[in-house]
Amino acid sequence: MFGGKGGLGKTTFSAATAYYLAKQGKRVLVFSVDPQASLSDIFKRDIFGKGPTEIMPNLYAQEIDADRRVKEYQQEIRQKILDMYGMDKIPEEIESYIQAAAAEPAMEESAIFDEVVDIVVTGGYDYYIYDLVPLGHALYYLSMASVYDEWIDKITNLRQQMREYDQVAAVMRRDKELDEDAILNELLYIKERINKSSGILTDKEKTAFFFVITAEQMIITDTVKAAELFAKFDVPLSGYVVNRVLSETLKQQEIPEYLKNRFVMQEKYLKVIDETFKGQILAYVPEMDRDVTGLEMIEKLAITMFGNV
């Protein structure tokens, strides 16, 4: 996983890492939940909402369409109600509730989270590269696993208590086969999926989380705070990558005054970074001469990060 504040290069590093691993013969999926469709831009392919899309041999990319996922949610809920209660059609008042629930702000986050769970749990790839949304949202998604788990525990306990009361159980079922078990089984299924995915995301043997930072005070300060929060969710912090480092060779050329000032600022904050994240800096990546879009530039960045591909 690559994380950090918006606009620092998470997507470019995700793409370059995926490219490098694919070139090593690994089957790789790089995916994003960002609605701004950054992977589409970087690969110069329209992949939004189209599921895993082959970019080149071994390399697949996916951008999640939350709106479509919400609609799928709604249909799943309708079908489960019909199946569980033997109805021919959804009652109007229930349909109204389903429509209203879909408009809730948390529904989109839930849909995205569920899609990420699907991707991680389904399998089929040697490596998954998760291009995380900016820090605040990333923390929200990562915390959802524990929130969901706690909520489902409460609902499951309530459900089990209800089974002790025959009168209540009789209302909840159509026959003696205890259709309420379908509801309980559904809750336990959701819990199992969440636990499995969160287990993968916090497994230090399987997962690595890299912070992307630049030589700026605000970025450094925010990253320190975020690292503390991420640690609380047991996210395996594996190191920091410093992006957009100006090349020292520029100093030997005639450069404008503002660029000279940028060098002074960079030198100051690179020292701060070295002191703050001592021993955890994995790479200093230079400012590229043009935007990293298309496989040619992605390969160039991959070589900078990992050596020959």
Structural domains in the chain plus CATH codes: 2-68+104-306 (3.40.50.300)
Which pLDDT score, from 0 to 100, does residue 292 have?
94
**Mean pLDDT (whole number) for 192-204:** 79
Q: Quote the pTM value.
A: 0.82
Determine phi and psi for 6, rounding to 5 degrees. Answer: -65, 145
Angle at 280 between CA 226 and CA 267, to 5 degrees: 90
Q: Which of 29-33, 102-106, 146-150, 238-242 has the highest mean pLDDT?
A: 238-242
The whole-angstrom separation of Cα 307 and Cα 300 is: 10
Q: What share of the chain is helix, strand, coil (3-state, %, to 5)?
A: 60, 15, 30
Helix (H, G, I), strand (E, B) or coil at 241: strand
Give me the residues paired with residue 249 across strands.
none
Which pLDDT score, from 0 to 100, does residue 188 have?
79
* N residues, the chain: 309
**Mean pLDDT (whole number) for 282-288:** 93
